[in-house]
Structure 1
Amino acid sequence: MASVKSQIIDLLERKLLSIHASSPSDMYATYGQNVLLEQIQERIQLNESIAFLLPGFPFKSPNPNKVSGRLPDGGDVYALEYLNEFCREVSFIYEHGCELLIWSDGRVFNDLIGVSNEDLITYENLIKQYSATMTHFKWDNMDAHIESRNGDDLVKQYGTSSFNFEQWLKMSPNNQKEFIHLRSFLENDLGQTSLRKTLSRKKFKQAMSWTAEQMITRNNALTNLLKQHYPNHIRLSIHQHSNNGEKFTIQFFANHSIKSDTFSLRTPWHNVLVISTDGARNLLPLFKVKLQSEHVPLMYKNQIWCYVQLPQTSLVESVPMLKLSLLGDSTRFGIAIDLDKQIEVFQLDVTWMKMLLNTFGVVVIRRCKTSLDKESYSRFCEQYGPPVVWNFGSLLVLKPVLTPESGHQSRESMPLHFDLCYPPEYLLKTGLYEDYVPQYFMLYCVKAPVENGGGKTNFVNGRLLLESMDEKEIQHWKTTNISSSTPKSYFGGKSFTYPIVMSHPRTNENILRYLETSTTTYQPVENIHSINGDSKAMESFDEFNKEMKEKMRDPKWYLEHTWADDDLVLIENHLLLHGRTAISEDTDRELWRIQVY
């Protein structure tokens, strides 16, 4: 088995570093890799976490041809998710973990390119809020080191006294290339701003030359600041460097963010996120997004969050009527598709829909053109896989009755669970989780409760909950088995045992399989735990169950869906837990459920 440091290096090279072995200017193979090995080995010998440092995530580009607004969006958040997931993978390899310090460098040069302090602060605050579940980040910026928070004072305090831009420019051809590249980049980035409109072409170019000079001078001071305050961090960069060991260039979303013709890296603050039909994430300048023929915007609170590529089917013709939006407050959980009463649900491409389910966990289809009957609803669901056939058939009617025999027929709240966690004998098949638990299930609303009548379906995104946890705790949960049983059900009670954390049978990612305890009349759930077979290992199990009730309802990964007539909801059963809020006595609710493998 490869050593820990070799595994970490392999992960870096596969997932994060931008290395161009064919380029004579790339020195990773000759110098950089050895430096990186030494840096990682030093942390391992000291039993300290592997610490990386990345300046970036400053603010959104002011160029309206590149980005869709001033606020952080899906590009920023999914780039952070990608970095956090890399750190998590390192932490599963190395017991002392991995951390990434993100040095938000917007304050260093925002005044040079006309971005206000207000926009910068809003961007920083929101991006920290959106990444709250990502536990491997630490944040820093110039505010903590320069009292005036001014880029000129950064140079005065940390600049090299002997640094002279003209001399630096003459030192090497690479420096000249860096300056020319930066100047051209600024001409492009600021070419649509008010500054360009007020200056002649010649004066604008002169202004961009001056701005590039100032940015290089300030960057020299920033490098000194970072070396002084973070001498043991491995320095990463979003700019293309020689990878000689001083700095290592990274890329977002593996190879998707590189323009192969120029080796120019794409960053989320200069581009928008595009989710392709296969779920891959790419960064593109906004002007390359084909809104009327290939891409549809995904909205979040009146903001364009990202763009989703449409399948090459008849759905493309319906782009003007198709509206996508995120549900609730989470930026990575739950998506609604509004068909505007003009599109049939059968026009939705199944492979595309599965991609959305695997990305967002739950998809709510609203305002379809035609209401569904039981036959058409069954046909729709069976496009996604073979149905689970109970002794009553594949379609279960969920509505309160006067004399309930199970929680499904009652008005009580339903504890959080996953579908087919308590299978009857005839559905057990081999008895393996992956053989009897369906990947998807669908709920169709025939009659919605009245306003404030309860009966909401609630969801917990296990992916986000587990993302917020320490890797050691996740490993502990993998060896903690809980036996759950419920005596009241339409198939009879029996105890089933699951680890709190399992592996997704299709993707192998960690999934939460905790079943919430309940003392309701018609769906009581009792849990008995064991750790590696030792049923006495957790003394405060009752307290743990109480904590889980609260933890699972954290708004960062918890969502309640209020039903409307004809809502069609698709759920990824492995990724989510779900339940129901109580239904009031003065209202009715009828849903149809079908599960598919």
Structure 2
Amino acid sequence: MNTCALETLSDTLFGILYETLLLNRKPSTYGATLLKQQVSKSVTDNEPLRFLLPAFPCKSISPEKCLSHRLDMAEWIAVKKIVSTIRTIEALYEPGVEFIIFSDFHTFSKYISVEPTRYYDYRKDLEAIVREFNCEGALHVKSLSDYEDFATYADDEQIEVLRTRYGDGAYENTLASMIATDSDTHKKYTALKKFMRDDQKLLIEGLSKTQRNNRVAEIARGMMIQGVALDRFLCKVFPLHIRLSIHHHPDDSAKHTVQFFDRGTFKTPWHNCMTFVASTGKYRAEKLRLAALREADSHSVIAPVYFDNRQWLLLDLPVSRPNAKEALKHITFSLRKSNCGLLIESADQGLDVSVFDNTAISHLLNEFGILIFRGFRPFADIDSLESWYSQRGDFLKWSFGATHIVKAEREGDSYSSSVTSEEALPFHWDMVSPPPYMGIDQSTHPYHTYTPKEFLLYCKSNETLEGGLSTLIDCTMAPLTLHGKTRKALRETTLSYRTRFSYFGGVERTYPLLMEAPGTKKEVLRWWQIWDEENHPGSVQFNYSRISQSSTYEDMTALELDLTEIATQSANHFTVEFKTGDITLINNHTMLHGRTAFKGHRELWRIQLQPEHRAKPQ
């Protein structure tokens, strides 16, 4: 690669870091210039971009800040942001990224009052998230105990070993006078005292005022001394890594500030919880006590969402009508995956699903992909279902009408289509293969003009003897589990699909494997699983795929195996067994769905919404 190409690549990678992960700095400042030099050196040497982030020690001891001592959605979102940056760089830069999260728990363990068992639970959860994103090759979690100087010491000894071996004696001896005379040191000391007074509030509230002040002062001085020791250790072990920080540093600092959440806010996952505001579709990083105060002062309900047997995040739900606030308090929320599959359960079977604000439903569906309302008042007939769902938009009209009754139904000795049989269905999205009579011409009708944004499945009854699970793929998660090079290759690959006409199909349709979901910045997987005579003999309806365009793939069989492996990874795939009365909304742009074979009676009513910018038939 010539000098000009190297400079262009360096500039591109430099821009990605500020666009996706770091706080922007003025180009002429020392910090920005240093980062550019660090990136350029790695590119010139054809070495991975190496980053070091001291962070993720453990959850705060304060019950007023976090949902529990376990990792939750706050950390998941933060790690997702790191992974997203890594994947973007991998797609452009062959050597890729080596990113180290260095847990500083043992650095400050004496002062934060958290038991080591909580740290190990937290670290285990953090490593599990890295595995969930399939990013172990680039993203590593480390701590003092992973290095020779500390490996033989107990948890409570490592803090003193760090101070003894790497501490700055001169700094420690002069710290008191520096606090008194140096404005920057005094400012840092005062801010740290204030922060730790809040963090340790419940532990020190029984002390006298003087004792509280002395304890907080001791903590602040101790943490400043330990911070210097940690810096010296990290400089020795990672001298060439790009040093990141979760603290706000000035433009002339050699440490580059990471922003996990909204621009301009410097909040850490381990001192906050995440609230999804359903009225706006945005997350809010905040202390738990502030979330409770918001509920008391506003027309909304704050409800916990559970995942993996613990509180995972909070929902801020707008109250849509009088008396709805009390009703919403008796609904439970849980996720099937870290960020997908929201189950909404009512203990009152007389409660109408219209208790939920329509805008809130849209934002929840956009974020979590699928909403399952369970235990709500059932719909007596199709007219009442259509009356409620029509509030969300116009219906897609098929030759048989808007509502498709999906149940096993023979016509003579056979089934008319795979959908109305008892057999399994391949992964797909709705309207992947519209029938000819709809007049959809892909040369003039873009994907977003004829593909429903969402659809409804109402489980009228489910009396299956076996099987009949709905199989689901989170298509926003799937690209993040891929190495950037693989993602780039799939992004540049288009497949053509065909099937005979039943009530759908009849014309070959072509789509890229990865695309941006309409109305979002989310990259999603679009894939119709092959269902042919070789792999599914005896099926009612077969569908076939071919590679239409790709600079990487030539063998459709091999590519299909890769796609199947990607889609069915545990991070991306889950199943749902619908119960009678379930009202399920599925985001058609961000999910794929299928079905396992079944025996017995299973009846679903399906309605799809017209796209907002619908295609006019040709």
Structure 1 length normalisation: TM-score? 0.90
Structure 2, unpaired ranges of 5+:
612-618
What's the offset of the Cα at 1:412? 0.7
Measure, in 2, the Cα distance between the counterparts of 1:578 and 1:127: 29
Match of 1:187 in 2: 197
Contact 1:32-1:244 at 8 Å conserved across structures: yes
**Aligned residue number for residue 240 of structure 1:** 248
The secondary structure found in structure 2 opposite 1:220 is helix
Amino acid at match of 1:564: K
Partner of 2:113: 114
The one-letter amino acid of 1:59's match is C
For residue 269 of structure 1, what is the aligned residue in structure 2? 270
Counterpart for residue 489 of structure 2: 476
Most deviating of 219-228 and 335-344: 335-344
Determine the C-alpha separation between the residues in 2 that align with 1:483 and 1:239: 49
Please tell me whether the aligned partners of residues 89 and 484 of structure 2 are also in contact (alpha carbons under 8 angstroms).
Answer: no
Which amino acid in 2 is paired with 1:456? L
Give, in whole Å, the separation in 2 of the partners of 1:350 and 1:46.
54
Q: Does 1:421 align with 2:428?
A: no
Partner letter of residue 279 of structure 1? G
CA distance in 1, matches of 2:143, 2:409: 59
Match of 1:337 among 320, 334, 344: 344
Aligned amino acid, residue 559 of structure 2: F
Cα drift, residue 416 of structure 1 = 0.8
Taking the aligned partners of 1:126 and 1:76, their CA distance within structure 2 comes to: 10
Structure 1: tracts of 5 or more residues without a match: 22-27, 259-264
User: How far apart are 1:366 and its partner, in Å?
Assistant: 1.0
Equivalent pair of 1:311/1:352 in contact (CA under 8 Å): yes
Percent identity over the alignment is: 26
Q: Which amino acid aligns with 2:475?
A: G
Task: Report the 3-state secondary structure (helix = DSSP H, G, I; strand = E; otherwise coil) of the residue aligned with 1:164.
Answer: helix
Instruction: Determine if the alignment matches structure 1 residue 464 to structure 2 residue 477.
Output: yes
1:354 aligns with 2:367: no
In 1, the alpha carbon distance for the partners of 2:353 and 2:497 equals: 37
| 1:32-65 residue CA offsets vs partner (Å, 9 max, x unmatched) | 2222222222222222333222111111111111
Q: Give the direction of change, closer, same or farther, for the CA distance of 1:5–1:20 in structure 2 (3 Å limit).
A: closer
Where does residue 44 of structure 1 map in the other structure? 43
Query: 1:318 corresponds to which residue?
Result: 327
Q: Hey, what does 1:172 align to over in structure 2?
A: 182
- 1:212-248 Cα offsets, whole Å, 9 max, x none, are 2222222111111211122222111112322423212
- In structure 2, the CA distance between the partners of 1:554 and 1:17, relative to structure 1 (3 Å rule), is closer
- C-alpha distance after superposition, 1:137-178 (max 9, x if no partner): 222111112121511111223223544243475173211221
2:403 paired residue number: 395
Which residue of 2 is the match for residue 24 of structure 1? none
Aligned residues: 574
- Paired amino acid for 2:73: G
**423, 438, 442: which is aligned to 1:412?**
423
Report the equivalent of 2:554.
Answer: 538
CA contact (8 A) 1:133 1:464 kept: no
Structure 2 residue matching 1:383: 3-state secondary structure: helix
Distance 1:55 1:444 in 2: 48
How far 1:490 moved relative to its partner? 2.6
Which whole-Å CA distance do the structure 2 matches of 1:484 and 1:65 have between them?
A: 54
Tell me, what secondary structure is at the counterpart of 1:334? strand
Residue 505 (structure 1) aligned to one of 518, 529, 552: 518
Deviation by residue 1:62-117 (Cα, 9 ceiling, x = unmatched): 11111121101111111221232233344455554444321111122223322111
Q: Quote the offset at 1:362 in angstroms.
A: 0.7
> Which residue does the alignment assign to 1:306?
313
Q: Could you tell me whether the CA contact under 8 Å between 1:179 and 1:213 is conserved in 2?
A: yes
Structure 1 pair 372/41, CA: closer, same or farther in 2 (3 Å)? Answer: farther
Summarize the Cα distance change of 1:495–1:89 in structure 2 as closer, same or farther, 3 Å threshold.
Answer: same
3-state secondary structure, aligned to 2:329: helix
Query: Structure 1 pair 515/325, CA: closer, same or farther in 2 (3 Å)?
Result: same
Indicate the residue corresponding to 2:576 in structure 1. Answer: 561
Q: Give the deviation of 1:581 after TM superposition.
A: 0.8
The residue aligned with 2:125 is 126
Structure 1 residues 523 and 165: alpha-carbon distance in aligned structure 2, compared to 1, 3 A threshold: farther
Aligned residue identity for 1:307: L
The amino acid that maps onto 2:483 is: D
CA distance in 2, matches of 1:436, 1:155: 64
The equivalent position to 2:238 in structure 1, one of 189, 208, 230, is 230
Distance 1:252 1:552 in 2: 27
Which of 532, 544, 555 is the matching residue for 1:526? Answer: 544
SS at match of 2:433: coil
Query: Secondary structure in 2 aligned to 1:408?
Result: coil
- Greater shift, 361-370 or 406-415, is seen at 361-370
Match of 1:286 among 279, 285, 288: 288
Q: CA deviation at 1:563?
A: 1.1
For the structure 1 residues 40 and 499, does the alpha-carbon distance in structure 2 shift closer, same or farther, using more than 3 Å as the test? same
Within 5 Å, which residues of 2 pair with 1:30-109? 30-92=29-91, 94=93, 96-109=95-108
Does structure 2 conserve the Cα–Cα contact (< 8 Å) formed by 1:503 and 1:511? yes
Q: Which of 444, 459, 475 does residue 445 from structure 1 map onto?
A: 459
Is 2:597 aligned against 1:570? no
SS in 2 for 1:87: helix
| Deviation string, structure 1 residues 321-358 (Cα, Å, up to 9, x no partner) | 2322112xx21111011233253222322221111111
One-letter identity of the residue aligned with 2:407: K
Q: Residue 516 of structure 1 aligns with which residue? A: 529
- Give me the TM-score of the superposition, normalised by structure 2: 0.87
Q: 544-553 or 361-370, which moves further after superposition? A: 544-553
Q: Give the distance between the partners of 1:185 and 1:144, measured in 2 at CA.
A: 29
Q: Determine whether 1:386 maps to 2:394.
A: yes
Contact 1:489–1:522, Cα closer than 8 Å, also in 2: no
Matched, 1:363 2:379: no
How far apart, in 1, do the equivalents of 2:437 and 2:377 lie?
38
Q: Letter of the aligned partner of 1:318 in structure 2? A: A
* 1:297-323 deviation line (CA, Å, top 9, x unaligned): 212244221112223522445331232
Residue 141 in structure 1 maps to residue 150 in structure 2: no
Alignment-derived partner of residue 494 in structure 1:
507
Q: CA RMSD in A?
A: 2.5
Return the alpha-carbon distance in structure 2 between the equivalents of residues 7 and 484 of structure 1.
36
**Cα distance in structure 2, aligned partners of 1:472 and 1:550:** 17
2:510–2:548 contact (8 Å) kept in structure 1: no
Between the aligned partners of 2:12 and 2:357, the Cα distance in structure 1 is: 39
Alpha-carbon distance in structure 2 between the residues aligned to 1:236 and 1:428: 54
Q: Which moved more, 1:227-236 or 1:159-168?
A: 159-168
Deviates more, 1:425-434 or 1:564-573: 425-434
Q: Which amino acid aligns with 1:267?
A: T
Checking the alignment, whether the CA contact within 8 Å between 1:428 and 1:436 is kept in structure 2 is no
The SS at the match of 2:542 is coil
- 1:246-261 equivalences under 5 Å are 246-255=254-263, 258=265
